[in-house]
Amino acid sequence: MNILELISRCIRIILIARKPTEQELGKVAKITAIGIVVIGLLGIIISLIFAPLGG
C-alpha cells in the first residue's frame, strides 16, 4: 500500500464517520467506567491476596 492509497482511505473514512449521539456517548462512558472499576477491583483483590504472603 503506497502513501496515496493510505491517504485516500483515510479521507474516505473521515467523510463517512459521524459524531456519536449523546446516548451513544453515554453508553461508551458507562462501559468504560465499569471496565476501569473492574480492573481496579481486580488489582486490589490480587494485592490483598499476596500481601499476607510477604510479596
Query: What pLDDT score was predicted for residue 4?
Result: 92
Residue 55 has a pLDDT of 55
Torsion over CA: 14, 17, 19, 25 (sign): negative
Mean pLDDT within 10-25: 94
CA distance 25 to 33: 12
Across 4-20, average pLDDT: 93
- What's 55's DSSP letter? -
pLDDT score, position 39: 98
Instruction: Assess contact for 51 and 43: CB atoms under 8 A.
Output: no
Angle ∠(30,25,8) on CA atoms, nearest 5: 130
**pTM above 0.75?**
no
